[in-house]
Amino acid sequence: MKLIIAIVQDEDASHLISSLMNEGFSVTKLATTGGFLKSGNTTLLIGVENDKYEPCLKIIEKVCKSRKQIATSPVTMGGATGMYAPYPIEVTVGGANVFVLNVEDFIKV
């Protein structure tokens, strides 16, 4: 058995959960906040038998596509004055960060 930990953008989370559940996967959802853009992420915990591992990953890959987005990054102007001016930058968002762990025991009570 394997435990798949998938960290996905909030925008992709509900569609991914629906797709996984339609294929018979059980999913636990955790709300998380992540890194660079401090945007909302969702962490999914998915326990799968070894023979269901590849189909689960295929669903994650299909739903969670990377895409470009314009974000604003504050840039300090004027040194000591501390003024900030928004500076638009293009960033890649979406996709998924996936961790796979081997599970020695699974107990459901």
Assign residue 18 the CATH number of its domain: 3.30.70.120
Q: Is residue 86 part of a domain?
A: no
Within 10 A of 1 (CB to CB), how many other CB atoms are there? 14
Please report the pLDDT score of residue 81 as a whole number.
Answer: 59
Q: What are 6-59's pLDDT values in tens digits?
A: 999 888 899 999 999 999 999 999 988 766 556 678 999 999 999 999 999 999
Q: Is residue 10 part of a domain?
A: yes
- Structural domain total, the chain: 1
Q: Which domain holds residue 21?
A: 2-66+94-102
Q: What are 61-106's pLDDT values in tens digits?
A: 999 987 676 666 656 555 555 666 666 766 655 678 999 999 999 8
Q: Is residue 81 part of a domain?
A: no
Please report the pLDDT score of residue 94 as a whole number.
Answer: 64
The C-alpha atoms of residue 63 and residue 32 are separated, in whole angstroms, by 19
Q: Which residue has the tokens 């689960």?
A: 56
